[in-house]
Structure 1
Amino acid sequence: MKIKTKLILGVGLLFAMIVLLTVLSSIYINRLSNDTKNILIANYNSIEYSRQMINALNDGITNPNSNKSFSENLEKQNKNNTETGEKELTEKVVYDFKILLENPSDSSIQYIIRKDLSEIMLLNMQAIQNKSKIAETTANTAITWISVTGSICFIIAFVLLFNLPSNIANPIKELTESIKQIASKNYSERVHFESNSEFGQLAKSFNTMAKKLEEYSNSDLERLMMAKQRIEILINNMREPVIGLDELNNILFMNETILKIAGLKKEEVIGENIETIANKNDLISALIQNESKSEIETVKQKPSSIKIFADNKESYFEKEVIPIKIIPTGEETERNIGKVILLQNITTYKELDFAKNNFIATISHELKTPISAIKMSVQLLENNQIGVLNLEQQNLINSIKEDTVRLLKITSELLNMTQVESGSIQINLVPCNALDIVDYAINATKMMAEQKQISIKINIGNNLPKVLADTEKTAWVLTNLLSNAIRYTYEKSII
C-alpha cells in the first residue's frame, strides 16, 4: 500500500471516529435534555397547580383571593393535562368546584375536590418517577454506547499511533543508514522496501544509483589516470609558462616552456618546494620575490609585468597567480589546495607600446616648430610698427595667441603620455582658485560657442576655498569637456 493511501486512511479513520463520537454524544444529550424538560414543564407544573388549589381550599373558598387563586390554577391545570386519566380528574374537579361555589359550606364537596387533586398530584409524581427512570435509562444507554464507541476509537487510534509513524519512519531510517554507507564509499549497499509504496520506487532508484556508483568506482582509477595524462599533455603544449603548486608551495608541475626559459629539468623540480628552487634559480626567485606565502594561498593577485631574457632577446611577461580553492564534500568552508602561476607573453604589446610612444614623441617635436612659428607671427602682428589693429582684429589675434599657448601645452602633455600609460604621470598639486580654472576653460572655448550662438552660464558660490589640484591639467580636462558639450549642443542653447 502506498504511503499516501495509508495517511489518507489513517487520518480519515480518525476524522470519522471524531465525527461518530460527536454525533452519538449529541443525540443522547438531546434525548436527556428532552426527558428532563418534560419532567420540569409538564408534571412539575401540574403538581404546583394542585398544591395551590389545595391551599386555596384550606384558606376558605368564600375568600375572594382564595376563590380567584383556585380558579386561575384550575384553568392552568385544565390546559396542562399530559398524563393518562389526568384530564378526567381535572374535569371532575371543575364540576365539583362549580357545585362548591353554589354550596360553599358543603365540606363533603371540598373533601372530594381534595381527593381528586391529591390523585392528580399522585399521578404526576408517578409520571415524574417514570420519566426519571427513562432519563436514567437513556443516560445509562448513552454512557454504554459512548464508552463502547470511545473504546473502539481509542484502540484504533492506539494502533495507528504505533503503526503509522513506524511505517513511515523506519524506511526513512533504513534509507538514511544506506546513504551513510554510500557516503563511506560502500557502493555495494542496497535497500529493499515494499514495491507498491513510494519507498519501493525510491529504493529502486537508490539501488540503480548505487549500482552505477559501484561501476564508476571500479573504473575510477583508470579514468583518473587518463584525465591526468590529458591535463599533462594540455599543460605541456601551452605556449605560456605555467607552474602548479600545492598548499605547501611544493611544485606539482612545470610545463616545457617555463623549464626551457628557466633552464631547469622536470625531474629536478617536481615535488620540491618553490622557495628551495628560487634559491638556486634567479628567474624563479623573480617570480615569487614580491609575494608572501599567505597572499599566494588566499588572494587572487592582479597581473604584474616581469622582464625575462628568452629566445635570445628581452621578453616581457604578465604574471598572474590564481589560487585554487574547493569546498570539500559535506563541508561549508572553502579550503585552499594550491595555486597556479601563469605567465602570459606580452612582448608584442610592449613593442607596439614603445613604437606608439616614439611616434607620439616625434609628432610632438614636429608640432612644436610650426606652433612656435605661429606664436612668433602673432607677436609680430601685435607690433604697432607693422600697423595698428582694430578691435575685431585684436580679438582674433588674442584668440590665436591663446590657442597657440594651449597647443604648446598639449604637445608637452603628449611628450608625457608614456608617464600616463605607465601610471607615473607627474601631477603638480598646488592650492588654486577653482574660478580661475573655469574662466580659463570658458575663454578657450568662447569663439567656438559664439559661432553656434551658445550661451555659457556660470553658477559658482561666493568665498569658495581653494582646491588642491594641478591647474594646467585640470583646466585642460575641463576645456575638453566644455568643447565636447558645445560640439554636441544645438545652436542658440544654454550650457
Structure 2
Amino acid sequence: MKIKTKLTSGVGLLLGLIILLAGVSIWYINNLKKDTNNILTANYNTLEYSRNMLLALDEFHIDPSAISTFELNLTKQKENLTEIGESDITLKISNIFSDLKQDIKNDSLQVMIRKDITTLMKLNMDAIALKSQIANNTAENAIGWIIITGVLCFIIAFALLIKLPGDIANPILQLTESIQQIANHNYNQRIDLEKHNEYGDLAKSFNMMAEKLDEYSNSKLEKILKEKKRVETLIDNMRDPVIGLDENKIIIFVNNEALKITGLTRNEILNKPIQDIAVTNDLIRTLIVDLINPSAKKDNTPLKIFSDDKECFFEKEIINIEINKTGENATELAGYVILLKNITVFKELDSAKTNFIATISHELKTPISSIKMSTQLLENNQTGILNEEQKQLIEGIKDDSTRLLEITGELLKMSQVETGNIQLNIHATDPRLIVNYAVETTKIQAEQKKLSLKVNVEADIPQILADAEKTAWVLINFLTNAIRYSIEESEVIISLEREPQGVLFSVRDFGKGIESRYKRKIFERYFQIPGSLKSGSGLGLAISKEFIETQGGTIGVDSSPGLGSTFFFILPYNKFL
C-alpha cells in the first residue's frame, strides 16, 4: 500500500470514528433531554398543582381567597393532562369542587375531593417512576455505546500511533544513515526496503545511484592516483622549497629542495607534527614562528640559508588552504603550505646594480666637478670675453652639471642605503638649528620664485637624538620639493612642534597636492607622480625615508588634490636630558 493511501485511510478512519462517537453522544443526550423534559413539564407540574389545591382546601374555612387559589390550580391542571386516566380524575375533581363551592362546610365533599386529588398525585408519581426508569435505561445505553465507540477510537488511534510513525520515520532514518555513508565515500552501502510504496521506489533509486557511484569511483581511482602522482612529481621538481601541512600541522608532503635546505630525509619529516621537527631543526623552527603565533609581528626580512655551497636568500610565505565542502557555503581550513621563494639571483643582481651605481656615481663626480670648474674659469674675464650666446651656453652647462652632481650624490646615498652602509652620527641636537640651516639653504630658491618661507616653532622645543647632517638633508629635500611645486607668490610653512613620540618637523605647501592613490608610492625608489616635473631622480623621498627610519623616526605625508601637501617626520626626544 502506498504511504499516501495508508495515511489517508488511517486518518480518515479515525476521523470517521470521531464523527460516529460525536453522533452517538448527541443522539443519546437529546433522548435524555426529552425524557427529563417530559417528567418536568408534565408530571412534576401536576404534583405541584395538586399540592397547591390540598393546601387551599385547608384554608377554605379561614381564608375566602383560598377558593380562588384552588380554582386557579385546577384550571392549570386541566391544561396539563398527560397521563391515561388523568382527565377523568381531573373532571371528577372539577365537579366535586363545583358542589363544594355551594356548600363549603360540607365535610364529606372535602373528603371526596381530597381522595381524588391524592389519586391524581399517585398517578403522576407512578408515571415519574416509569419515566425515570426509561431515562436511566437511555443513559445506560448511551454510556455503553459511547464507551464502545471510544474504545474503538482509542484502539485504532493507538495502533496508528505505534505503527504509522515507525512506518514513516524508520525508512527515513535508514535512508539518512545510508546517505551519510555515501557522503563518506562508502559506495557499497545499499538500502533493503522490499515495500510496494514510495519508500520502495526511493530505495530502488538510491541503490541504483550508489551502484553507479561505486562504479564511477572504481573507474576513476586509477586516474586519481595518476593525478596525485603527477602533482607530487611537479612539487618535487619545483626549484623552490615547499612543505605541506594538514589542518593539525602534520607534514603531509615535502619536496626535494625543502629536504636539501633542512638537511632531513623524507622519512624523518613526513607524517610528523612540524612542532616536533622544529625542536631539533633551527630552520624549521624559524619557518613556523608565524604559524604558531599568528598575532606576532611578521618579519619580512629574507631568510639567509646556506645551500648549493653558497649563501642563498629566500622569501617565506605561509598559505592557508581553505576549502568549501560540496553543498556548503562555509569555508573550512584544510591545511597550510610553507613556500620559500628563492630570490638569490635577484639579490645578486640587486647587489651588482648597487655596486655598479655606486661605482659609476663615484667616478662621475670627478669629471662633473671638472666641468663645473671649467665653466667657472670660462666665466672669468681673464680667460677671454664671452658673447651673450656663449654665456647662455655656459649657464646651461652649469645647470646641467649641478643637476648631475645632485643625481650622483643621491645615487651614492641610495647605494649606502641598499648596502646598509649608512654612517650615522647620532648625538643630542637642537632641532631649531636644523630648521634654520635648511631655511637658509633654500632661501635663494624661494626668493627666485617669489615665495615666502614662514617658520612656526613652538616654545620650549627639547633636544632630539639625531644625525643633524642627514636630518637637515631630509628637511632641505622637503623644502626643495615644496618650492618646486608651489605657485608663485604663495608661501611655504615650516613647523616645529612637540608630539608624544618626539619632535615633529613639517613642511606645508599650497600647490596642486597629491592624489590618494600615489601617497603610498611617493616614498618608493625612482617613483615620480605622473604629470609632475621630471627634474629629479625619484630617489630623494626614498633616501629621506631610509635616513629618518634608520634614526628611529617616522615619516609621512598628508595631502589633498588642490589644497597642497604637508610632508613631515618625527624624531625621538633626547631621553638622557
Q: Shared topology, TM-score over 0.5?
A: yes
2:558 is aligned to 481
Find the counterpart in structure 2 of residue 160 from structure 1. Answer: 160
State the Cα deviation string for residues 114-133 of structure 1 (Å, max 9, x = none). 23323321321232122112
Q: 1:304 to 1:88 in 2, by over 3 A?
A: farther
Mapped pair 1:432 → 2:498: yes
Is the CA contact 2:262–2:283 (under 8 Å) kept in the aligned structure 1? no
CA contact (8 A) 1:378 1:397 kept: no
Contact 2:438-2:472 within 8 A present in 1 as well? no
- 1:99-155 residue CA offsets vs partner (Å, 9 max, x unmatched): 211221333433442233233213212321221122122123212322332333233
- Whether 2:36 is the aligned partner of 1:40: answer no
Unaligned runs of 5+ in 2: 273-279, 326-330, 362-402, 411-436, 457-469, 480-495, 514-547, 566-577
Give per-residue Cα distances to partners, 1:356-395, cap 9 Å, x unaligned. Answer: 99989x889717999x9995684799xxxxxxxxxxx899
The answer for unaligned runs of 5 or more in structure 1 is 277-283, 329-333, 382-392, 415-429, 450-468, 489-495
**SS of residue matched to 1:319:** strand
SS of 2:268's equivalent?
Answer: coil
User: In the superposition, relative to structure 1, how do residues 366 and 33 fare at CA in structure 2: closer, same or farther (>3 Å)?
Assistant: same
Judge conservation of contact 2:443–2:453 (CA < 8 Å) in 1. Answer: no
Cα distance in 1 for residues equivalent to 2:165 and 2:311:
78
- Counterpart for residue 461 of structure 2: none
Match of 2:266 in 1: 270
Q: 1:315 to 1:95 in 2, by over 3 A?
A: same
Q: Secondary structure at the match of 2:55?
A: helix
Q: 2:26 maps to what in 1?
A: 26
CA 317–186 in structure 1, closer or farther in 2 if over 3 Å, else same: closer
1:383-462 mapped onto 2 (5 Å cutoff):
398-399=452-453, 408-410=473-475, 432=498, 444-445=508-509
Alignment of 1:5-84 (within 5 A): 5-60=5-60, 63-84=63-84
The one-letter amino acid paired with 1:26 is: I
Alpha-carbon distance in structure 2 between the residues aligned to 1:157 and 1:46:
50
Number of the residue aligned with 1:305: 302
Root-mean-square deviation (CA, aligned residues, Å) is: 5.5
The 3 A distance-change label for structure 1 pair 178 and 130 is same
**Aligned equivalents of 2:293 and 2:333: distance in 1?**
7
| Structure 2: distance between partners of 1:159 and 1:412 | 96
Matches within 5 A, 1:60-459: 60=60, 63-172=63-172, 175=175, 187-216=187-216, 218-219=218-219, 222-244=222-244, 252-255=253-256, 269-273=265-269, 287-291=283-287, 305-307=302-304, 316-322=313-319, 340-346=337-343, 366=406, 375=440, 378=443, 398-399=452-453, 408-410=473-475, 432=498, 444-445=508-509
Distance 1:359 1:70, change over 3 A: farther
**Would the aligned equivalents of 2:262 and 2:281 in 1 still touch at CA under 8 Å?**
no
Which stretch of the first structure deviates more once superposed, 215-224 or 12-21? 215-224
More helix by share: 1
Kindly tell me: are residues 79 and 410 of structure 1, through their superposed partners in 2, closer, same or farther at Cα, counting changes over 3 Å?
farther
TM-score with structure 1 setting the length: 0.63
Residue in 2 that maps onto 1:331: none
Shift of 1:3: 2.6
- CA deviation vs aligned residue, 1:156-202 (integer Å, no higher than 9, x gap): 23433443234235435655776687789875443232454232133
Percent of matched pairs sharing the same residue: 41
Name the aligned partner's letter for residue 30 of structure 1.
N
CA shift, 1:340, in A, is: 3.7
Matched residue SS, 1:481: strand
Q: Give the partner amino acid of 1:486.
A: L
**SS at the partner of 1:272?**
helix
Contact 2:53–2:69, Cα closer than 8 Å, also in 1: yes
The answer (yes or no) to whether the contact 1:241–1:258 under 8 Å persists in 2 is yes
TM-score (norm 2): 0.55
Amino acid in structure 2 at the alignment position of 1:51: R
Q: What's the secondary structure of 2:286's corresponding residue? A: coil
Residues 429-470 of structure 1, C-alpha deviations (whole Å, 9 max, x = no match): x99269x989x86x8447999xxxxxxxxxxxxxxxxxxx99
Residue 408 of structure 1: how far off its partner (Å): 4.7
Q: Secondary structure at the match of 2:315?
A: strand
Q: Which has the higher strand share?
A: 2
